[in-house]
Structure formats: structure tokens, C-alpha cells
Structure 1
Amino acid sequence: MDSVLIIGGTRFIGRATVEEFREHGYDVTICNRGNHANPFADDPGVGHVEGDRRDRDDLEAVREQVDPDAVIDCVAYFPEDVRVATDVFADAEAYVYVSSGASYGVERVPKRENETPLCECTPEQATTDSAATYGPRKAEGDREVFAAAERGVRAMSVRPTVVYGPHDYTERFDYWIDRVDNHDRVAVPGDGLSLWQLVYVEDVASALRVVAESGTAGEAYNVGDDHVPTLGEWVDLLAAACDTTVERVAVSERELRRVGLESTEFPLYRASPHLLSTAKLRSLGWSSTPHEAALAATVDEHRESERTGRGEGPDRADETALLASLDE
């Protein structure tokens, strides 16, 4: 394969994916509606075509114009998106759908491809854009990938867990960087042992390339960091990356309620463990970036950006009141 079409490509996972394929010698074309600035406008190796990925006619026009060897679909949020794309690009050497660890429908530790059941998805959920339907929609997109493979399309799925890294517009991880970088005491909900596996954005991008090159049609591949720190350990890792020290203070639900807070208000907190097995992806030669390198790049970009993540979690004034109540 020499050329790749990335549906999306200007923000976060898409942006890292463009860089990954360029670093490995591919000609890259981005397809989007042009609503976001193109960070690759000055790179002659990255083409850009405008089109609405939800419009079949637009996708067919893109196919005729680009004729890509591989397609990486970063912005398929509805099952119909995957159904149409796998049909339009049926002759490509590879179609890779960015799914999600949220597609799993039961709590298992770890969650494994082909073993852990996926979310069910009703017709209404398949067309409803909400946080509650995100997992079901992604799961149904996976099923569309499997159906396309049955039709002879080399279609595959990559399921990331929560993604962090440079240019993360969700600001979930920015919240914790901001807290650690600017304060010497940080509240951590529960006992600090909340376990929610994360994955560095560049590792998602490399997984997409590896699966496009070496994956098996009709298969899904989990992607997540090899080592899975608890939330409290993430605070310690960030303190090291920020070259600072911080006291992390574990706070119970009862203590949180004193100031009107709940554990779920803190980003990246999860009551039950979320861990994906990555053995299948690792069998293709993939591995994750060490946390020290991933966090150094993430913190550097955070500091250069205008993101704080403060709107993604408790207000600092409330956190200060909480910490003060513990000292009484």
C-alpha cells in the first residue's frame, strides 16, 4: 500500500494518524467538511478534499478523485456511516474503522475481542446522537465491519480505550495536568485505585497503521497502554512529568458530599475497572509508548495550548473547600 485516505484527519486521533502514515512513507489525503483548520496545509505529502462523510455522493466523489489503497475512518459515529463507507470503498486494500472500548456491553476484566459481548443497539439508538447511545452505536459499527468482511471487503476495527495526548480537545486529561501543574494538593476520588485504562494518541495511530497493513479482515483489535496505572498513580506520573511534587488526597463519597460533589464529577474516574486485552494487537508487532515519553510530549503541548480542562471537573474553589474540610 502506498496511499491512504483518512476520513477526519485534522483533530486529535485523526491528526496523529496523518503524522503516523506520513512518517512511514505514505501519501495521505484528508477528507472532511473543512470546519476545522488543516494543520497539514503546508505539507505537500498531505492532500485535502472536502466532503461530508455522511453523504454517499460525496464519498463516491472522493473515491473517484483519490482512489486510496487504504481508508482509515476516524469519524464514523453511526452504523450507517460504516455501512456506506465499507460499500463505497469496498475495493480498497484495507478499511479500518475507529471503534471504541465503549462498544463492550458487559463488565469483564479484561475485555477481550471475540469473547466479551458487545452492546446491543436498537434502531432508535443507531440514529440517536447522545452519550448514552455512543457505546451501542460503536458496537453496531463493529457489526457492520464484520458484515462487510463477509462480503469480501478487507474491513477491520480498532477499539481504543480513553485516549490522551497532544491536541486532545476533550480536555479530560488536561484537567489533571492543570491540577498537578498548578497546585500542591489534589483531591482524588475514592481510594485512588480507580482503574480506567488509557491509551496514548500516537499509539492509537500506530495501531491503525499496523492493522491496515497486517490485520485480518473481519477482526477487531483492542488498543490500550501496556501498563495501566490507577488514577492516583496517574497523578504521581504527571507530577514527575511536570517536574513538581503534589500531595494527592483520597476523598470518600461521604467527604465529597459535604461540599456537594460526587466521584463521577472527576474526569477519568470509574467505579468499576475498565481494562482491554491488547494481546491480539501485540501479536501484529504493535507496542505502546512508555509513559515517561508519552507524558512528556503531552505536558509540553498542554502548556503551549490554551486548554485547562477546568470545565471538565470540579471547580477549584469547591476542591479547596473539600480539602479544607478534611483538615478540620
Structure 2
Amino acid sequence: MPSYDTALFVGGTRFIGRHAVEAFLGAGYDVTTVTRGEHGDPFADRDGAENLRGDRTERADLVDARDAVDPDVVVDFIGLHPGEVREATDVFADARYVYVSSGSAYVPGDVPMREGETPLHPCDPEQEDDDSVETYGPRKAECDRAVFAAADEGVEAMAVRPVLVQGPHDYTERFGYWVNRVAEHDEVLVPGDGGSLLHRVSVRDLARALLLVAEEGAPGEAYNAADRSAYSLDRSLELIADALDTEVEPVHASARELAAHDVAPIDVPLYAPDPMLVSTEKLAALGWESTPPAEYVANTVQAHVEAGVTGPEESLDRRTEEAVIAAVADE
């Protein structure tokens, strides 16, 4: 197996990239992140880590970063549009290129969704340059197709498709919503019967997956990244409560009961109306293992509590939540 020791990250200073920098440094790499500098550099004082200022939408900035680093491995965390990935795979054609995609690239339906079998979303030209939430899945799917096309041209390009990523420094605060609810309240509103299944992955496990695929993945392939075991929304609350050494009572409400208070089930973070599960066999075949949920949830809970995370700004407000809980109790 060839030896790699120099990595360039396009992005890498916020959430997933932050943990990936740690994983690559721990494996002996020199790591350079190229960012616009909007979120600071958490590795400014770390040996082996450097930051370059650059805009990934500017080809000249990518070329400058490539020439300055001469990377063995490139990990692209912030490719949101297919044209950006086409540009990156061209600029970094001589490196091992790993694109951080998403499970949202799949057309939902298969349980589990499998690489190479479950269809990817189509993406029309108008969607490619759009920035709306509605086109996120199609854009990620088209970015994956750009990776595959580059591999067909001889570039050692691969994609990793994480599902819901959880861990410290998660700026989306979606899991933090539930941590805060369990920490502050005895009763918590849960849409449906609590069995909502949305596959998760620890951010530290994902960082190890990116390192593994960078070194051992096959060009032209995609690799799902998710826990080897899945757990429900109710189980999430149990794991959080265990980590906080407390108890919580989930109060289940139907779509009708929620609608009476102008709430839709999807207004509640991490609720999935249908199971979203992916196969993890391909990544496991490379030797990857996931951390037991109880262990990484405990670490995540501690980090969120220490950081004062309360959830996304648009989260369901507690007053409305309590009104629904009271209405369910009266039925």
C-alpha cells in the first residue's frame, strides 16, 4: 500500500472537518485546511496543521493551495454544487480525492439504502446552482456522479455518504435540542410512537471513515457511513437521560394532535416520517467499526451541555410543546 502523509482539506474548521483534522494528525499526516477564514482556525497552534485562506469557488485559490501543499490526499467537505466538485477533481487530479457527500443523495424507499443499488436523485441544470434545502439531495447526488466521472478519467476519486452526524461542535444543534429538553424537563414531546428511525453516525467515527477511505478506498466507489446499529427517537432520549443521570417521560403525539396546535411532526428535530437506514457493509469491509451509541452519545451530551447548546433557532418552542403535552394528557 502506498504511503501518504500530506493532506489538504477543502474546509475543515467547523464540525466534521474539525474532527477529521484530529484523525489525520493522529495518523501522522501534515494537514492543511483551505478556508475563507470566517470561522477561525481551531488548529492555529497545532504542530502539523496549517491554514490557507481561499475560496473554494475560485479555481485559482484551489490551484494555489495545491501548489503550496502538493497533497497526497484531498478531502472536500464543502462541495455543495456539482460544478465545484468537477472543478476540484480536475485541480486535484493527481491526489487521492475524497468527497464528503450525504445519505440525502439517495431516493428514499429502500431499507436499507445500498451503494450502487439504491437510485440517486436526479438533478437538472437549474437545481445544480440552487441553494435551497429542497435541492440539497439532488445536488449531492450530482456531485457524486461528478466524482464517478472523474474516476472514469483516471482520478482516484471516492465519495463518503454520512447520514445524520452527531458529536461535539455540531453547529446544527439538532441533537442538542433533545439534550437540552431532557436536561431541563421531565416530559418531552415526541412525534408519533417514538419509533422514528434516522440512522446516525458519530462524528469521530466519520472522521476515521474518511481517513480509511482516503487510504484504502477504491476510486469510483461510494461508501455509506453510519452506525453498525440504529436506534429510535425514544431510544435517543433514553441514552441522553442515562448520560445525564436523570429520567425523562416521552409524550407521544399523533399528527392530528400536533396539527391542533399548528405543529407538523417534521417541525421537531430528527423526526423521520419513514425509516432512513443505510447499509454499512462496504465501509466495514475496509475494517471500519462504529463506537457503541451509549458511549458516543454520552460524550456528545457532555459537550453540548458544556457548550450551552439549546437547539436550532427554528425549533419547536417549549410553550407550544407544553400545550400539546397537556392536550394529550386530557384525552
1:274-308 deviations in Å (ceiling 9; x for gaps): 00101000000001111122112111111121321
Structure-2 residue corresponding to 1:218? 220
1:258 Cα deviation from its structure 2 partner: 2.4
Counterpart for residue 59 of structure 2: 56
In the other structure, the counterpart of 1:24 is: 27
Equivalent AA in structure 2 for residue 44 of structure 1:
D
1:79 aligned residue (79, 82, 85): 82
RMSD: 1.0
Amino acid at match of 1:34: G
Look up the match of 2:185: 183
Match of 1:195 in 2: 197
Answer yes or no: is the 8 Å Cα contact 2:11–2:34 preserved in 1: yes
How do 1:311-326 and structure 2 match up within 5 A? Answer: 311-326=313-328
Q: Does the CA-based 8 Å contact 1:183-1:246 persist in structure 2?
A: yes
Task: Say which SS state the counterpart of residue 20 (structure 1) adopts.
Answer: helix
Tell me the SS of whatever aligns to 2:313: helix
Contact residue 175 and residue 312 of structure 1 kept, 8 A: no
TM-superposition CA deviations, 1:219-276 (whole Å, max 9, x none): 0000011111111111111111111100111111121122221111101111111001
Aligned letter for 2:159? S
Which of 283, 289, 292 is matched with 2:291 structurally?
289
Residue identity opposite 1:142 in structure 2: D
- How many residues are aligned here? 327
Q: How does 1:109-188 map to 2 (within 5 A)?
A: 109-188=111-190
Partner amino acid for 1:66? V
Distance, in Å, in 2 between the alignment partners of 1:310 and 1:101 is 21
> Equivalents in 1 of 2:44, 2:308: separation in Å?
22
Work out whether residues 11 and 167 of structure 1, in 8 Å CA contact, stay in contact via their aligned partners in 2.
yes
Percent identity between the two aligned chains: 54
1:31 maps to amino acid: V
1:39 pairs with 2:54? no
Structure 2 residue aligned with 1:249: 251
Q: 1:65 is paired with a residue of what secondary structure?
A: helix
Instruction: Give the secondary structure class of the aligned counterpart of 1:60.
Output: helix
Aligned to 2:73: 70
SS of equivalent residue, structure 1 residue 311: coil
1:314 CA displacement:
1.1
* CA deviation after TM superposition for structure 1 residue 310, in Å: 5.4
The residue identity in structure 2 corresponding to 1:85 is A
Q: Counterparts of 2:103 and 2:138 in 1: how far apart (Å)?
A: 11
CA distance in structure 2 between the partners assigned to 1:84 and 1:174 by the alignment: 35
- What letter is aligned with 1:135? G
Structure 1: which amino acid aligns with 2:182? Answer: V
Q: Confirm whether residue 232 of structure 1 aligns to residue 225 of structure 2.
A: no
Indicate if the aligned counterparts of 1:171 and 1:312 stay in contact, CA closer than 8 A. Answer: no
Q: Which residue of 2 aligns with 1:103?
A: 105
**Match of 2:181, as an amino acid?**
R
**SS class of match (2:215):** helix
* Counterpart position of 1:6: 9
Q: Is the 8 A contact 1:150 1:218 kept in 2?
A: yes
Tell me the distance in 1 between the aligned counterparts of 2:79 and 2:329: 49
Using structure 1 for the length normalisation, give the TM-score.
Answer: 0.98
Given candidates 269, 275, 278, the residue that maps to 1:276 is 278
1:262 is aligned, of 238, 261, 264, to 264
**1:193-239, CA deviations, whole angstroms, 9 ceiling, x for partnerless residues?**
11111111111111100000100000000001111111111111111
Match of 1:305 in 2: 307
- 2:197 counterpart letter in structure 1: L
Amino acid at match of 1:280: K
Quick check: 188-197 or 308-317, which moved more? 308-317
Counterpart amino acid of residue 92 in structure 2: F
Paired with 1:237 and 1:306, the residues of 2 have a C-alpha distance of 19
Q: CA offsets per residue over residues 69-122 of structure 1, 9 Å max, x none? A: 100000000001110111001011x10000000000241100000000100000
